[in-house]
């Protein structure tokens, strides 16, 4: 098979395996008797709600997803809001959700559908903090290069819904949270900043993380953190009736892609599904591995890379990885690669990522674009648009984080 076609087929397979319509039913119990409320947040949450109703029929509920990621549901209300920076639509819907769960009793059952992206979509700033202040802090954190775990730890401290607070608000109702993991390590407390999972961090740790990554919070947020916050700990009695289940994770998608490559005669090295780090640095390391490998071979990896904003370009961690990889490979023969976010959105752009090959730098020269200058400006999306090598699948309705594949031909 043509390398570019195989790379795209592997990405599509990785996404399909994590599609809630294909994967959620096996984790869903029989519909309980009595009142059932379905809630959720994340880029996959509307598709998850659609899958629930395919199995259970019409349900009462409210789910918040990204603009453009809504799905038709029979009874569950789908609200679209902003990601990665929250907006008022998300705040209003989150407050409604908190009111809904607060009205449940001990005989009620709540199904929570949680996926990546929920940190921005499920937004209820803590007392004394405004949406504008939360937006400013989110933007600064995303540009700082901080890993997602540290960003989510800070988000939990200044939220009225994250870090177990959604589940605490629902007590004494029984709750099952079904999750799609998009985080390195598959920690339920990191998925969407853990709205149904107790938090063992601290405000002091959040302040230290802000300082470490050079982010100055708005005065109200700094004052709130300095006062110590109000965490819901993992042993809080209000979490005693909650069960958290990860039913889809990045490793499953990588294995599905690996199977396609093996069927085409490639040996497969899976570097891991939890790789973190600066996108351009990880790309440089992976280029060395590829140049030293003997084909036919596939090098697969997942996780969540970061970008420290240095310029004013349009990019994301997957496109920046691909651009840095192309530069490091310098047109090496027989090496092709793809880097995409499985949710279809790399950074804030409606682009999943990009493909590269031995001809990438030659195409750039013919198009009059400078790859080194584009990398310096964090302008990878415009670079790949200029040479027609972007991957634009549209909303994938799922999210198991980054997918990176390097093919070394024999």
The answer to whether the beta carbons of residues 245 and 177 sit under 8 Å apart is yes
Helix (H, G, I), strand (E, B) or coil at 277: strand
3-state helix, strand, coil in the chain (%, to 5): 40, 20, 40
Q: Quick one: 261 exposed, middle or buried, by C-beta within 10 A (0-12, 13-18, 19+)?
A: buried
Looking at residue 197, what DSSP letter applies?
S
Q: How many residues make up the chain in this entry?
A: 410
Phi, psi (5° rounding) for residue 363?
A: -60, -40
User: What is the reported pTM?
Assistant: 0.93
Instruction: Give the tens place of pLDDT for each residue, 112-129.
Output: 999 999 999 999 999 999
How many CB atoms neighbour CB 348 within 10 A? Answer: 16
Residue 332 vs residues 326, 349, 357: alpha-carbon distances, Å: 9, 29, 8
User: What are the DSSP calls for 37-106, one per residue?
Assistant: EEEEESTTHHHHHHHHHHHH-S-EEEEEEETT-----SSSEEEEE-SSS--HHHHHHHHHHHHHHHT--T
What's the confidence (pLDDT) of residue 149?
87
The answer to whether the beta carbons of residues 14 and 256 sit under 8 Å apart is yes
User: Cα(first)–Cα(last) distance of the chain, in Å?
Assistant: 13
The rounded mean pLDDT for the chain is 96
* C-alpha span between 50 and 42 (Å, rounded): 13
The answer to whether the beta carbons of residues 97 and 62 sit under 8 Å apart is yes
Helix (H, G, I), strand (E, B) or coil at 302: strand
Instruction: Give the tens place of pLDDT for each residue, 155-213.
Output: 999 999 999 999 999 999 999 999 999 999 999 999 999 999 999 999 999 999 999 99
pLDDT of 219 > 80? The answer is: yes
Tokens of 65: 């997803």
Half-sphere exposure (CA, 13 Å, Cβ side) for 100? 24
Instruction: Give the tens place of pLDDT for each residue, 9-31.
Output: 999 999 999 999 999 999 999 99
Domains parsed from the chain with CATH numbers: 3-11+251-408 (3.40.1480.10), 31-248 (3.40.50.10180)
């Amino acid at each position: 098979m043509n390398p570019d076609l195989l790379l795209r087929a592997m990405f599509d397979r990785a996404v399909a395996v994590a599609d809630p319509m294909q994967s959620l039913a096996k984790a869903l119990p029989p519909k309980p008797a009595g009142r059932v409320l379905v809630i959720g947040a994340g880029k996959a949450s509307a598709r998850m709600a659609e899958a629930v109703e395919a199995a259970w029929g019409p349900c009462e509920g409210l789910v918040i997803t990204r603009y453009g990621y809504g799905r038709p549901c029979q009874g569950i209300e789908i609200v679209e809001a902003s990601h990665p920076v929250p907006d008022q639509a998300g705040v209003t819907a989150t407050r409604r959700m908190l009111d809904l769960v607060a009205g449940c009793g001990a005989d009620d059952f709540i199904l929570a559908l949680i996926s990546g992206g929920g940190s921005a979509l499920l937004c209820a700033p803590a007392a004394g903090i405004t949406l504008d202040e939360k937006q400013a802090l989110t933007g600064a954190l995303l540009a700082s290069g901080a890993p997602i775990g540290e960003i989510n730890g800070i988000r939990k401290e200044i939220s009225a819904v994250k870090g177990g607070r959604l589940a605490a608000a629902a007590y004494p109702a029984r709750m099952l949270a079904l999750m799609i993991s998009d985080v390195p390590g598959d920690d339920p407390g990191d998925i969407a900043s853990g709205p149904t999972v107790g938090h063992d961090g601290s405000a002091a740790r959040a302040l230290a993380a802000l300082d470490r990554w050079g982010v100055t919070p708005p005065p109200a947020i700094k004052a709130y953190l300095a006062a110590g916050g109000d965490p819901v700990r993992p042993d809080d009695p209000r979490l005693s009736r909650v069960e958290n289940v990860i039913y889809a994770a990045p490793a499953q998608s990588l294995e599905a892609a690996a199977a396609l490559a093996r069927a085409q005669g490639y040996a497969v090295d899976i570097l891991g599904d939890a790789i973190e780090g600066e996108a351009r640095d990880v790309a440089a390391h992976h280029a060395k591995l590829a140049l030293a490998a003997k084909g036919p071979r596939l090098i697969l990896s997942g996780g969540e890379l970061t970008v420290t904003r240095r310029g004013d370009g349009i990019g994301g961690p997957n496109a920046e990885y691909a651009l840095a990889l192309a530069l490091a490979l310098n047109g090496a023969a027989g090496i092709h690669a793809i880097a995409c976010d499985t949710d279809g959105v790399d950074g804030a752009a409606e682009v999943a990522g990009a493909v590269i090959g031995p001809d990438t730098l030659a195409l750039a020269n013919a198009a009059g674009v400078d790859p080194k200058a584009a990398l310096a400006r964090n302008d990878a999306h415009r670079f790949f648009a200029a040479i027609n090598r972007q991957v634009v699948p549209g909303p994938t309705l799922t999210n198991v984080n980054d997918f990176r594949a390097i093919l070394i031909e024999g």
